[in-house]
Amino acid sequence: MLIAFNKPMNVLSQFTDEGKWRGLKNWIDVPNVYAAGRLDRDSEGLLLLTDDGKLQAQISSPKFKTQKTYLAQVEGTPTEDALEQLRRGVTLKDGKTRPAKAVAIADPNLWPRDPPVRVRKTVPDAWLRLTISEGKNRQVRRMTAAVGLPCLRLVRWQIGPWSVEGLAPGEWREVQL
């Protein structure tokens, strides 16, 4: 079984609640499924859950290089130089990232975020679509910050062939393997 879940902001990628943060049990009442990878509490979007340990490893292990696509709202205006740095790979404290696919995109008109992203009238923001094939801790946020574009909102849109398209925050569906 494979489940695609649109994880809302401020929800943990685990079934147990922790302090003021809610866990997956508040949305998904399916026995014996576990998250294939993580999505930070302050990030939104696609989280895959499965009852198949081998599939879980294939999706989440960096050695399989499963591509993950994110939509990132960033502070500032992306330059071609910043995008090219992301495409070549960025050096972070824990090493250089693999090259990413990185393009500036129009506002994707996503669902409203709760709480909303702060808006500063004097600082522009923009959207990027980034596809990576590894999963260092908070990698996309650290990559965009490293090229001068701090991340304001991060939505994982796709993992391999599976997408969050058509799912509202908090909704899930079983998907084909």
Buried b (16+ CB within 10 A) or exposed e, 71-88: bbbbbbebeeebbebbee
Report d(CA 69, CA 158) in Å as an integer. Answer: 5
The residue from 17, 40, 51, 52 that is catalytic is 40
Active-site residue, 40 included: yes
Report d(CA 119, CA 81) in Å as an integer. Answer: 25
What SS3 state is found at 155? strand
Catalytically active residues, by annotation = 40
